[in-house]
C-alpha cells in the first residue's frame, strides 16, 4: 500500500487506554502512528480505574518489598525477572505521567500514598478515586497535541493482516457508524485493547471490554497464556440501578470492613490479613458466605471513617452511592464480586513481543508474567506504563524491524454474506455465553461445571461461526465472535490446570500442586 495512503503508517496501535496512549506517544518519536480505538478515545478500562498506580515512592518502602508483595499475590506463577524490572522502572514511569499532566493527589505538600490489599506499605498514587479518568484526560490531550499521532475513533478491530511469511502487517477495522471495513497497515502492530470482562454476566468493566485484541491475536496464531486466571473484584455495588459500579479496594485500605447482613464480620475467619488479603481470597470468601447464608450480597462498612474524610478521599464513590440513596458515612453499602481483570492474555516477552512477528501486545491484553496467578492491586496501570515504554525502546533500536517483504492489501470482501434479519441470534448467544461463564467458570469451579461449559460452548460456536460467515458483519456480531473465542480459551485453560492456584479455584483439586507450578500455554495455527 503506498505510503501516502492515510491508512498506512509506521506503527498501528489498537486501543486507547493507558498502555495504548503511552505507546502511541512514545512511538511518535520514531515515526507516524495510527491509533485506532473502539469508541471515543477516553472510553477504556483505564478510564474506570479508581484505585491508582503502585510505585515505591516513600523512603520507608523498598523495591524488594514491592517485589515480594507481587510474588506472594501471584501464587508462584509470576516471572520474577519481569516483576523486578517492572517494580524498578515504576518511579520513572510515574514521574513521566506527572510530566504529561496527570495530577496525583497530595497531602501536606507530598504525594498522598494509599494502601490496598496485598501491599505491605503505602505506595498507591491516586487522583482521588478517579485515577483512571485523570490519566485518560491527560494522555488523550497529549495524543491530540502530537502531530505524528493520527487518532481514529469509533472503529472496532475485525482481524489482523498477515503476510505470506506469517508476520503481522496491519488490521482490518470497522467504522462503527456506517459498518464499512477498511485495512490499516503498518510496519508493527500493537494490541492494547484491554481485557474481556464482558465475557461474564457480572463485571466491573465497561461495555467495550469484549476481548477483541486477545481474540484477534488467537485467530492470527499467537500463543495465549494463563487464560484461566480471571480476577473477580470483591466489591462491586449491589443495586438494581447501578451498572457494575466498582467500590475501590482502597476503601478497605482505609479501614473498610466486610460484614454480613446481621452485622457479623467474616474476613478474619478466612485470612490473617482479613479485609487486606489479596483479591482472590476476599472474593472467594464473599462468594462462600453468600452461598452459606443464601444472601444476595454482603456489606462494606465505612462508618468508622468521618464523612469529611470519605468525601475528600473518595468523592466519586461517595457521590455515586449517595445518588442511589446509600450514605456510606451512616450505614454499610451492599457489595458483590464481579469479573474484573484478566491476568492471562497474549503471551509476550519482556519487550511486549508476541509469537507472531511484528505483532506486540501490552496492557491487560497481554500476559507479561507480572501478575502470575493473581494480580496485586494497582499493578495493572503500572504494567501498562512500563511495557509501553519498553516496547517503544525496543522498536527504537537499530534493526529492530528488518526490512519487510512487499505486502499487497486485499480489500475486505463480503462474499455471499447477506444483511441479517435475525439479530436475536446475537443477543441470545451473547446472553447465554455470559451466563454460562458466570455459572460454570466463575469464582469457584469444578470439573463437572467446566465440562458442561465446554460442551455447551461448542454448540454455541457452531451457530455463531455460521452466522458470522454468512452475515454482513456488525459491531455486535464482531463482539459476539470475540467473547466466544475468549470464553473457549478460559475454559480450555481451566480444564488444563489440575490444581487450585491463585484465581483458579476448583473444588476437585482444592490445593496447589508444586509439580504443576507452570504457565498454561495454548497455541493454534492461523486460520
* The three grid cell numbers given for residue 191, joined into one nine-digit string: 494490541
Residues identified as active-site: 279
Residue 382 located in a structural domain: yes
- CATH number of the structural domain spanning residue 447: 1.20.58.100
Residue 21 lies in a domain: yes
On whether residue 416 sits in a domain, the answer given is no
Assess whether 248 and 325 both reside in one domain: yes
- Specify whether 197 is located in the same domain as 73: yes
Question: Is residue 458 assigned to a domain?
Answer: yes
Strand order in the sheet with 149-152: 149-152, 33-36, 11-14, 188-191, 359-361
Position 45 scores a pLDDT of: 66
138 and 266: one domain?
no
Which pLDDT value is given to residue 5?
63
Number of domains in the chain: 3
pTM for this entry: 0.91
Q: What does R_g of the chain's alpha carbons equal in angstroms?
A: 22
Residue 26 included in any domain = yes
pLDDT for residue 1: 35
Q: With cut-offs at 50, 70 and 90, classify the pLDDT of residue 487.
A: very high
Handedness of CA 279, 283, 288, 290 (dihedral sign): positive
Residue 524, in any domain of the structure: no
Indicate if 364 and 222 belong to the same structural domain.
yes
Tell whether 157 and 182 lie within a shared domain.
Answer: yes
With the C-alpha atoms ordered 115, 117, 120, 125, is the resulting torsion angle positive or negative?
A: negative
Q: Which residues constitute the domain of residue 34? A: 11-228+343-395
| Gap between the Cα atoms of 123 and 125, Å rounded | 6
Residues 206 and 291 in one domain: no
Question: What b-and-e string marks burial along 171-206, b requiring 16 or more CB atoms within 10 Å of the CB?
Answer: bbbbebeeeebbbbbbbbbbbbbbbbbbbbbbbbbb
Query: Looking at the structure, do residues 174 and 299 belong to the same domain, yes or no?
Result: no
pLDDT tens digits for 448-476? 999 999 999 999 999 999 999 999 999 99
State the average pLDDT over residues 239-257.
Answer: 88
Residue, of 50 and 514, whose pLDDT is higher:
514
End position of a domain, from candidates 298, 321, 339: 339
**What are the pLDDT digits (tens) for 341-376?**
999 999 999 999 999 999 999 999 999 999 999 999
pLDDT at residue 42, rounded to an integer = 67
Domain edge (last residue) among 339, 359, 378: 339
Whether 288 and 380 map to the same domain: the answer is no
Confidence of residue 237 (pLDDT cuts 50, 70, 90): very high
Judge whether 42 lies within some domain: yes
Cell (9 digits) for 386: 512500563
CATH number for 166: 3.50.50.60
Q: Which of 456, 474, 200, 519 is nearest to 337 (CA)?
A: 200
Is 213 in contact with 229 (CB distance < 8 Å)? no
Residues 222 and 238 reside in one and the same domain: no
Please report the sign of the dihedral spanned by the C-alpha atoms of residue 71, residue 113, residue 365, residue 320: positive
Burial of 41 (0-12, 13-18, 19+ CB in 10 A): buried
Q: Same domain, yes or no, for 49 and 182?
A: yes
Residue 515 has pLDDT above 90, yes or no: yes
- Of the candidates 116, 113, 52, 54, which has an alpha carbon nearest to the alpha carbon of residue 87? 54
The 3-state DSSP class for residue 108 equals coil
Q: Is the pLDDT of residue 3 over 50?
A: no
> What residues have CB less than 8 Å from 82, skipping those under 6 apart?
350, 368, 369, 370
Q: State how far Cα 288 lies from the chain centre.
A: 25
- The CATH number linked to 286 is 3.90.700.10
Residues 159 and 285 grouped into a single domain: no
Between CA 125 and CA 94 the distance in angstroms is 9
Query: Is the same domain home to 301 and 383?
Result: no
Q: Which of 25-29, 39-43, 254-258 has the lowest mean pLDDT?
A: 39-43
Which residue bears the cell 509470576?
78
Does residue 472 lie within any of the structural domains? yes
Q: CB–CB of 279/377 below 8 Å?
A: yes
Amino acid at each position: 500500500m503506498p505510503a501516502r495512503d492515510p491508512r498506512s503508517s509506521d506503527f498501528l496501535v489498537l486501543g486507547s487506554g493507558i498502555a495504548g496512549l503511552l505507546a502511541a506517544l512514545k512511538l511518535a518519536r520514531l515515526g507516524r502512528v495510527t491509533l485506532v480505538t473502539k469508541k471515543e478515545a477516553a472510553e477504556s478500562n483505564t478510564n474506570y480505574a479508581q484505585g491508582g498506580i503502585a510505585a515505591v515512592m516513600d523512603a520507608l518502602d523498598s523495591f524488594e518489598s514491592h517485589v515480594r508483595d507481587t510474588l506472594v499475590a501471584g501464587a508462584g506463577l509470576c516471572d520474577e525477572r519481569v516483576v523486578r524490572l517492572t517494580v524498578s522502572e515504576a518511579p520513572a514511569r510515574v514521574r513521566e505521567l506527572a510530566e504529561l499532566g496527570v495530577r496525583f493527589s497530595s497531602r501536606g505538600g507530598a504525594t498522598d500514598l494509599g494502601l490496598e490489599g496485598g501491599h505491605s506499605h503505602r505506595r498507591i498514587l491516586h487522583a482521588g478515586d478517579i485515577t483512571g479518568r485523570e490519566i485518560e484526560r491527560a494522555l488523550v490531550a497529549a495524543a491530540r497535541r502530537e502531530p505524528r499521532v493520527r487518532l481514529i475513533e469509533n472503529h472496532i478491530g475485525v482481524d489482523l493482516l498477515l503476510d505470506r511469511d506469517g508476520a503481522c502487517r496491519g488490521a482490518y477495522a470497522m467504522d462503527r457508524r456506517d459498518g464499512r471495513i477498511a485495512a490499516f497497515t503498518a510496519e508493527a502492530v500493537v494490541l492494547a485493547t484491554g481485557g474481556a470482562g464482558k465475557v461474564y454476566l457480572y463485571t466491573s468493566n465497561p461495555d467495550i471490554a469484549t476481548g477483541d485484541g486477545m481474540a484477534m491475536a488467537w485467530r492470527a496464531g499467537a500463543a495465549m497464556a494463563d487464560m484461566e486466571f480471571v480476577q473477580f473484584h470483591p466489591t462491586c455495588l449491589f443495586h438494581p440501578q447501578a451498572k457494575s459500579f466498582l467500590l475501590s479496594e482502597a476503601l478497605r485500605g482505609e479501614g473498610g470492613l466486610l460484614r454480613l447482613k446481621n452485622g457479623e464480620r467474616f474476613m478474619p475467619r478466612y485470612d490473617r490479613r482479613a479485609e487486606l488479603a489479596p483479591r482472590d481470597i476476599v472474593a472467594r470468601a464473599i462468594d462462600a458466605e453468600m452461598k452459606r447464608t443464601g444472601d444476595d450480597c454482603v456489606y462494606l462498612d465505612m462508618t468508622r471513617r468521618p464523612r469529611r474524610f470519605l468525601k475528600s478521599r473518595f468523592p466519586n464513590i461517595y457521590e455515586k452511592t449517595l445518588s442511589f440513596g446509600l450514605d456510606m458515612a451512616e450505614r454499610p453499602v451492599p457489595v458483590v464480586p464481579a469479573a474484573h481483570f484478566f491476568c492471562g492474555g497474549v503471551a509476550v516477552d519482556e519487550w511486549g513481543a508476541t509469537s507472531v512477528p511484528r505483532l506486540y501486545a501490552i496492557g491487560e491484553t497481554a500476559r507479561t508474567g507480572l501478575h502470575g496467578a493473581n494480580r496485586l492491586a494497582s499493578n495493572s496501570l503500572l504494567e501498562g506504563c512500563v511495557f509501553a515504554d519498553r516496547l517503544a525502546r525496543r522498536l527504537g533500536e537499530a534493526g529492530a524491524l528488518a526490512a519487510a517483504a512487499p505486502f499487497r492489501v486485499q480489500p475486505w470482501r463480503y462474499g455471499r454474506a447477506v444483511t441479517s434479519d435475525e439479530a436475536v441470534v446475537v443477543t441470545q448467544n451473547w446472553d447465554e455465553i455470559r451466563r454460562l461463564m458466570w455459572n460454570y467458570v466463575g469464582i469457584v469451579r469444578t470439573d463437572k461445571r467446566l465440562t458442561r461449559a465446554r460442551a455447551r460452548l461448542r454448540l454455541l460456536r457452531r451457530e455463531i461461526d455460521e452466522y458470522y460467515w454468512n452475515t454482513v458483519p456488525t459491531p455486535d456480531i464482531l463482539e459476539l465472535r470475540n467473547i466466544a473465542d475468549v470464553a473457549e480459551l478460559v475454559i480450555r485453560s481451566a480444564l488444563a490446570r489440575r490444581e487450585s492456584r491463585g484465581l483458579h479455584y476448583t473444588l476437585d483439586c482444592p490445593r496447589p500442586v508444586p509439580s504443576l507450578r507452570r504457565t498454561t500455554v495454548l497455541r493454534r495455527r492461523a486460520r
